Structure 1
Amino acid sequence: MADVEFTRDGHVAHIRLNRPQGLNAITQEMDDLLFEAWTMINDDADIWCAVLSAEGEKGFCIGADVSGGAERKTRMALGGGLTGIGGPLVTLKKPLIAAVQGFCVGGGFELAMCADIIVAADTAQFGLPETKVGIIGECGVVHRAMRQLPYHIAMAMILTGERIKADAAERFGLVNEVVPFAELAAATQKWTDKINAASPLANQAAKAAALGRLGHPLEVALMTRFEPIEQYAESADKQEGEAAGAARRKPVWTGR
C-alpha cells in the first residue's frame, strides 16, 4: 500500500498518511503523492472538501523524514507544497479538515495548521521541538503558530519545545473539537457533512476571499473585489440557492 492513500467518498476526498512505523514522517515520495492529491482535488469540480488523516494511534505526523539527511532533493515545499516550507506554496481551493491524533509536531504541526478545521483526538499533542533539539531553518511552523495561537502560548511553545495537549489546544482556539480517538473518524465525518450542506462554490469563494486578504488591513480587504465571488454570482448554485429559498426547501448543490 502507498505511504499516502487517496480515496473518494461522494464529494469528499480522503488523503491518509500511511507510514505509522515512522510516525508518518513525510518522505520525498510522500511529498510527490501529496502534491498529486492536492492537484486532483483542486482540478475536480465534484470534490467539495477534503480530509487529511493519518494511520496509527501514536502519531499524526512528526514532520519531514530526515533519516537520510536533512537536505531535501527538490524545492517542493513540505506536505506536497501545502506548507510553503522549503519551496513554492500550493494553495488548496477546497475546504480542508485535518483529523489529528497522537504526536503532531514540527512539520506535522505545520501541516495540520494548513487545514481550515482541525478535529483532534484526546490523544493529540501539538509541538514545535526545533529549538529544543537545536534545529532551526526554513521554519514556517513558527509563523503559523504565531497567527493561530495567542502570543504567549505560541512563544512558549517555540522557545521551550514543550507540547500542548488536545484540551489546551481546544481552549486556545487551535482545534475545533476534541473527541476520544475511537470517535475521530465519525466526528470528522460530521464536519464534512456540515461543510457539504453549504454551496461548494460559495465555500471556495469565501475561503479564497478570507485567506486572500488575511494579512492586509481591514480597509484594504473591504475594498477588494474577489473574482471567485463575482464568478459565483453567475453560477447554477447561486440560482439554486435562490430557488430553494423561495420554495422553502433544502438546496441541491451541483458545484457548478
Structure 2
Amino acid sequence: MALIQKNLVDRVGTITLDNRKSHNALSGELIGDVLRAMDELLKDEARVLVLRAPAGAKVWSAGHDVKELPTDGRDPLTYNDPLRQVIRTIQEVPVPVIAMVEGSVWGGACEVVLCCDIIVAAEGSSFAMTPAKLGVPYDIAGVLNFMQRIDLPIAKELLFTAQPISAERALDVGFVNHVVPIAELETATAELAAQIGRNSPLAIALLKEQLRVLSTATPLTPEGFERIQSLRRKIYDSADYREGLRSFFEKRPPVFQGK
C-alpha cells in the first residue's frame, strides 16, 4: 500500500491518501490500496472510517487520474471502474465513513467525498466538479449521487460551471456537515468519530443500509437509460473529447467546438 497510510486507534480506522507527487489522483493503484485498507480495517473491527489527505495538503485529491482516461472512445466510468468501485464500497460498508477535507477537491474526488456519510472540512478548502471543463461525460450513477446529496440547482451550478466553491458556501448549501478552523480539523473529526464509535455498531449498520436503500429508490425507464448512454457514446466519439484531453496535458484552456 505504497500510495496510502492506514492506522487504527480506539476502533477508528484512518486511511490517508499519500501520493503527493500526483496530488492524490484517483488512479487504479491508489484506489486499490484504499479498498484493501478498508477491508483490513473492517476485519480489525473498526467502527468508523476516516478518509483524509496528509496534514498540510494543498490538494485533498485531484480527482480521476486523467492519464488513465481512454483515448479510443471507450467509456471509462462503467460499473467495474475503480472510481465506481470505491464509491460503492464507501456507500455499502456497514460503518460510517467520515471525509476529513483539507485543501482542494477536484472532479471525481468530489463524488468520493460526497458519498462519505459525514464531511468535515477545514476553512479554506474547496470543491470543484470539473468534467465539463475537460469535455468528459460524467456517469449516471455519479450524477444521481449529486442529486441525492445536494439540491438540484446547486448540483447544476457545480456541474455546469466546473468552478470551485468554498467550504463555507458548501456548508451553506448542505454539501458538507461542518467547517472548522484548520487547527481544529483533526480534533473535531476525532471527537465526531469517537461519539459514533460509542453507539451500537449493529444499529448504525442497519441505519446506514436503510438510508442507502431508500435514497437510491429512484426509477429509470429503459428508454431513458438508453438515451443517456447514446449521448455519452457521442461524447466519447467526439473531437471535443480529444480536445479536452489534449488541452489538459498541454496545460492550456480547451477550445470546444461542440463537435
TMscore range, shorter length: 0.7 to 0.9
Q: TM-score, normalised by structure 2?
A: 0.74
Rounded Cα–Cα distance in structure 1 between residues aligned with 2:139 and 2:15: 25
- 1:216 deviates by 3.2
Query: Does the aligned pair in 2 maintain the 1:41–1:94 contact within 8 Å?
Result: no
Rounded Cα–Cα distance in structure 2 between residues aligned with 1:179 and 1:123: 9
Residue type matched to 2:201 in 1? P
The residue that corresponds to 2:103 in the other structure is: 102
The residue that corresponds to 2:26 in the other structure is: 26
The correspondence of residues 1-256 of structure 1 with structure 2, limited to 5 A, is 2-44=2-44, 46-55=45-54, 56-67=56-67, 69-70=69-70, 76-79=80-83, 81-84=85-88, 91-138=92-139, 140-216=141-217
Query: Does the aligned pair in 2 maintain the 1:120–1:175 contact within 8 Å?
Result: yes
Change (3 A) 1:48 1:17: same
The residue that corresponds to 2:230 in the other structure is: none
Residue type matched to 1:48 in 2? R
Rounded Cα–Cα distance in structure 2 between residues aligned with 1:32 and 1:76: 12
Query: Does the aligned pair in 1 maintain the 2:91–2:212 contact within 8 Å?
Result: no
1:97-133 per-position Cα deviation (integer Å, ceiling 9, x unaligned): 0001221121110110121000001121112111122
Query: Does the aligned pair in 1 maintain the 2:32–2:82 contact within 8 Å?
Result: no
- 1:76 deviates by 4.2
The residue that corresponds to 2:242 in the other structure is: none
Rounded Cα–Cα distance in structure 1 between residues aligned with 2:105 and 2:37: 21
- 1:25 deviates by 0.5
- 1:79 deviates by 4.6
Rounded Cα–Cα distance in structure 2 between residues aligned with 1:37 and 1:81: 14
Aligned-pair identity (%): 29
Query: Does the aligned pair in 2 maintain the 1:120–1:166 contact within 8 Å?
Result: yes
- 1:75 deviates by 6.8
Query: Does the aligned pair in 2 maintain the 1:31–1:80 contact within 8 Å?
Result: no
- 1:20 deviates by 2.0
Rounded Cα–Cα distance in structure 1 between residues aligned with 2:64 and 2:81: 10
How many residues align structurally?
Answer: 213
Task: Note the residue ranges of structure 1 that are not aligned, 5 or more in a row.
Answer: 218-256
Query: Does the aligned pair in 1 maintain the 2:120–2:185 contact within 8 Å?
Result: yes
- 1:42 deviates by 3.8
What SS does structure 1 have at the residue aligned with 2:82?
A: coil
The residue that corresponds to 1:254 in the other structure is: none
Q: TM-score, normalised by structure 1?
A: 0.75
Rounded Cα–Cα distance in structure 1 between residues aligned with 2:13 and 2:83: 16
The structure with higher relative contact order (CA 8 Å, sep 6+) is 2
Query: Does the aligned pair in 1 maintain the 2:8–2:41 contact within 8 Å?
Result: no
Structure 1 residues 1-10 or 11-20, which shifts more? 1-10
User: Aligned Cα RMSD in Å?
Assistant: 2.5
